[in-house]
Amino acid sequence: MKDFWQTCIQRLEQDLPPQQISAWIRPLVPLAFDEAQAVLRVAAPNRFKLDWVRKNFSHQIESLASEWYARPVQVTFELAASPAAARPAAAAPAGLTGASAAVAAAGLAAAPATAAAPAPSPAPAAAAAEALHDRSRLNADLTFDNFVTGKANQLARAAALQVAENPGVSYNPLFLYGGVGLGKTHLIHAIGNALLAAGNGARVRYVHADQYVSDVVKAYQRKAFDEFKRYYHSLDLLLIDDIQFFAGKNRTQEEFFYAFEAMVAQRKQIIITSDTYPKELSNIDSRLISRFDSGLTVAIEPPELEMRVAILLRKAESEGFAMPEEVAFFIAKHLRSNVRELEGALRKVSAYARFHGREVLTVDVCKDALKDLLSVSNGQITVENIQKTVADFYKIKVADMYSKRRPANIALPRQVAMYLAKELTQKSLPEIGDLFGGRDHTTVLHAVRKISDARSKQSELNHALHVLEQTLKG
Ligand SMILES: Nc1ncnc2c1ncn2[C@@H]1O[C@H](COP(=O)(O)OP(=O)(O)OP(=O)(O)O)[C@@H](O)[C@H]1O
């Protein structure tokens, strides 16, 4: 068993970052392998790690064990100091269920010394870890392990991992921005969860910007600003989601400014998410905007096709739902805007297949299940629609799209709209020119080339185009 465990760690080291190995895998202790039942018992040091490992790594460990023992092996996890781990295993202890009970009843070898000392349950360390976790308001399901990576988010993920490993040191603040449903919230929970799991008692708090605003209001009403300040300033990691909701909330912005200054001065980590990059935030104090931009600002882009397929396959697998690749490709080709939309589609397809008793999921079944979603996403995009959306986005008048005026603040949006018209509609260059106030087709061609070239070099323009495409595709 020891040989297996060593190999298992080595194999996991090839797939997982070192931080995850030291946080999750090394603290585990293999207790015994029951030959008759093909069950491997593994102890985790506290309840939090136990739940996490069971949820995120049991699958990988099980398949490695099955490979090693050349038959299907079940892995069960238990608390290291729990009576189950300590018992010499003559009879199943009360409260144990399923495989653990079977294993205990089957009579296993005595647990190793680390796990053998009888201890009162629950272990104090586990209780403390749980309490920290509850206070943090983190969702334990959102981890690095189940965050699918692709071109669209690899930078953001790398920065997030770096910050989770060296909080307060590498990038402070870390500012993540991107459109709806692209995984910003997921990623910041993953950072918080990783930090908690490292088990050094860090004080972590996730808060949505709206909640922070209402905390400020409550502190104001109760005249409890000192307490409010003490709490926020004492955190080691503050994760604040959707900061654009601070717009126009002056008192909130002021309080946040003080919290920000205090935390950064003490090398406490702040991570912020937003739907746009700092300079584009409206109604936010310029002092704050410059602070937001003073660490590392990274975009999360909408996922590309391959990544959308990978997300669908991964999510289907984790829900025990068999999805053929061609079905995943079909969904991913039609639903392009964000991950939340993909999750919704997956739920629909799986419910539909279950309801109609379809065991084998085909593209036709999928078309039926997603009829509504697909008709919306295939809705016609018109040049008029593009002109209006782009004008709103850049805060100019729609009439400027056809006018002959050429100041820079109008010329760029107009070129963007021409580019999108070429990309998203079937119209020819002369037809697009006509719709832009009777311009020549070479003007349109110039705009298309210019924007397409600029988008590959300027990440802000690229992001703006993604947002516009997402809006237009609904
Ligand atoms: N790369 C990814 N891998 C796996 N799941 C993802 C990924 N990106 C997003 N998700 C999932 O998609 C859903 C939406 O993501 P999330 O809530 O993090 O988006 P968001 O960017 O914070 O959006 P909003 O701005 O609307 O709050 C979540 O269930 C999340 O777990």
Q: pLDDT tens for residues 130-158?
A: 667 778 899 998 999 999 999 999 999 99
Q: Does the Cβ of 186 fall within 6 Å of ligand 1?
A: yes
388 is in an annotated binding site: no
Q: Could you write out the DSSP letters of every residue in 86-134? A: HS--SSPPTT--HHHHHHHHH--PPPPHHHHS---SS-HHHHHHHHHHH
**pLDDT of 412 over the 70 cut:** yes
Cβ contacts of residue 221 below 8 Å, gap of 6+?
A: none
**389 CA distance to ligand 1 middle (Å):** 25
Angle in degrees, CA 238, 244, 247, rounded to 5: 115
CATH superfamily of 135-299: P-loop containing nucleotide triphosphate hydrolases (3.40.50.300)
Sign of torsion over alpha carbons 324, 325, 329, 332 = positive
Q: With a threshold of 0.80, does the pTM exceed it?
A: no
Pocket test for ligand 1, best of 340, 470, 471 (most atoms within 8 A of CB): 340
Cβ-contact 281, 256 below 8 angstroms: no
Quote the ligand 1 centre to 274 CA distance (angstroms).
13
Q: How far is the CA of 333 from the centre of ligand 1 (A)?
A: 19
In this predicted complex, what is the ipTM? 0.98
For the domain made up of 305-368, give the CATH fold.
Answer: Helicase, Ruva Protein; domain 3 (1.10.8)
Atom nearest to 300 CA in ligand 1: 21
Stronger pLDDT, 134 or 8, i.e. the higher one: 8
Residues linked to residue 297 through DSSP beta bridges, in sequence order: 175
- Whether 181 has a binding-site annotation, put simply, is yes
Give the whole-angstrom CA distance, residue 154 versus residue 148. 9
Q: Is 472 helix (H, G, I), strand (E, B) or coil?
A: helix
State which of 182, 187, 309 you would mutate to test the pocket of ligand 1, scoring each by most atoms of that ligand within 8 A of its C-beta. 182
State if residue 183 touches ligand 1 by the CB under 6 angstroms criterion: yes
What spacing in Å lies between the alpha carbon of 208 and ligand 1's midpoint?
14
Residue 102, pLDDT > 50, answer no
**Where are the chain's structural domains?**
2-116, 135-299, 305-368, 383-473
Contacts of 354 (CB under 8 A, 6+ apart): none
Contact (Cβ atoms closer than 8 angstroms) between residue 91 and residue 104: yes
Ligand 1 within 6 A of CB of 340:
yes
Q: Does 462 or 15 have the greater pLDDT score?
A: 462
Q: What pLDDT, on a 0 to 100 scale, did the predictor assign at position 41? A: 93
Q: What's the 142 CA to ligand 1 centre distance in angstroms?
A: 9
Annotated binding residue at 404?
Answer: no
Residue 67 binned pLDDT confidence (cut-offs 50, 70, 90) = confident
Q: Is 132 close to ligand 1, i.e. is its CB under 6 Å away? A: no
pLDDT digits (tens, 9 = 90+) for 284-294: 999 999 999 99
What span, in angstroms and rounded, lies between the C-alpha atoms of 290 and 283? 13
Q: Is 348 annotated as a binding residue?
A: no
Q: From the CB of 182, is ligand 1 less than 6 Å away?
A: yes
CATH architecture, domain 383-473: Orthogonal Bundle (1.10)
Confidence of residue 255 (pLDDT cuts 50, 70, 90): very high
Atom of ligand 1 nearest to the CA of 148: 3
- Name the residue with the closest Cα to ligand 1, atom 15: 183
Task: Say which CATH topology domain 2-116 has.
Answer: GMP Synthetase; Chain A, domain 3 (3.30.300)
Q: Quick check: helix, strand or coil at residue 150?
A: coil
Tell me the C-alpha distance between 112 and 245, whole Å. Answer: 53
Asked if pLDDT for residue 85 goes beyond 60, the answer is: no
Between residues 309 and 129, the one the model is more confident about: 309
- Beta strand extents in 262-320 (DSSP E only): 269-274, 296-299
Return the pLDDT at 375: 59
For residue 114, the model assigns a pLDDT of 33
308 Cα: distance to centroid of ligand 1 (angstroms):
12
Report which protein residue has its CA nearest ligand 1's atom 4: 147
Asked whether 230 lines ligand 1 (CB < 6 A), one says no
CB of 253 closer than 6 angstroms to any ligand 1 atom: no
